[in-house]
Amino acid sequence: MHNPWIIDDWHLMLRLLLSVLLGALIGYERERKNHAAGLRTHTLVCLGSSLIMVLSIYGFPEFVNLPGVNRDPARLAAQAITGIGFLGAGTIMFTGKSITGLTTAASLWVVMAIGLAVGAGFYLAAAFSVFLALIVLWGLNILEKRFVNHPGEHVFTVTVDANNVTTEPMQRLLQQSGAKLMRVQFDEVTDHMRGNSLMRIRLTVRLPNTQMLGIAEQLRTMSGVTAVSAE
C-alpha cells in the first residue's frame, strides 16, 4: 500500500522543476514590462513555495507513527501565505502621484499559490492557474488600455515671456479638455543669454494619459510660450 507521507525522488524533482517552469512563465511577462519583480523573482518564489509545500507534507516521515504526534500537512504552507506579504509590499511604491506595483505584488501572491499547488501535486490546477494569470496580466492589460482611460496627475511646465503672461488661454484649454487643475506655481527666471525675464508656470492637472501629448502641443503654440515640458 502506498504511503501518503513518502514521495520518491523522481516525483520530488518533477514538482520542483514544474514550479520553476510555471513561475518563469509569469515572471517573463513581468520582466518584459520592466517591473521590480521579474523573471528570477517570480521563479524563485514559485520554487520556494513548492519546496515548502513538499517539505510540509513529506518532510518528516519518521515522526508520523510516534505517539502524541499530530501531522498537519498544510502547516508550513500557511506560513508561506503570510510571508509572501513582505515580498509583495516591497514591489509597491508611492510616487507622490500614484501607487504602482500592486499588480506585480498580486502576481507574486498568485505565483506563491501556484508553487504550493505544484508541491501538493495539483498539476492541472497549477498549470491552468498560470494560463488564467497570463490572460489577466496580458489580455486584460490590452483591454484596459483600449477601453479604460484612467485619469492621472501630470505636471506641465510652461515657460513664457514675463512681459506677456496670460493664463486665460491655458485655463480655457484645460476646461475644454476636461482636465482638472490641481495646483499652479509661478517662478520668475532670467534668460542670461538674451537678457530678458521669463515666467515658468507649473500646472499640476488631472487628466487621462492619452490627452497629455495633445495638451502639451497646444500649449506650445500659444502666444508668448517659449518652452513646454510634460511629465
pLDDT digits (tens, 9 = 90+) for 173-223: 877 777 777 777 777 776 656 556 777 888 888 777 667 777 778 877 777
> Is residue 218 one of the residues assigned to a domain?
yes
> Is residue 4 one of the residues assigned to a domain?
no
Cβ neighbours of residue 9 closer than 8 Å, sequence gap 6 or more? none
**Domain final position from 116, 131, 147:** 147
Q: How many domains does the chain have?
A: 2
Structural domain containing residue 16: 9-147
> Is residue 23 one of the residues assigned to a domain?
yes
Average pLDDT of the chain to the nearest whole number: 79
The reply to whether the predicted model has a pTM over 0.85 is no
> Is residue 127 one of the residues assigned to a domain?
yes
The model's pLDDT over 111-156, given as tens digits with 9 standing for 90+, comes to 999 999 999 899 999 999 999 999 988 887 777 766 665 667 778 8
At 103 the pLDDT is 82
What is the C-alpha separation between 51 and 33, in angstroms, rounded?
Answer: 28
Examine the domain organization and report whether 107 and 143 are in the same domain: yes
**Domain final position from 100, 124, 147:** 147
Examine the domain organization and report whether 125 and 155 are in the same domain: no
Beta-ladder partners of 118 = none
Alpha carbons within 13 A on the beta-carbon side of 200: 9
The model's pLDDT over 4-56, given as tens digits with 9 standing for 90+, comes to 677 888 988 999 999 999 999 998 888 887 777 788 989 999 999 999 898 88
**Domain final position from 147, 177, 210:** 147
Taking residues 73-95, report their average pLDDT: 72
Examine the domain organization and report whether 108 and 130 are in the same domain: yes
What is the C-alpha separation between 132 and 150, in angstroms, rounded?
Answer: 24
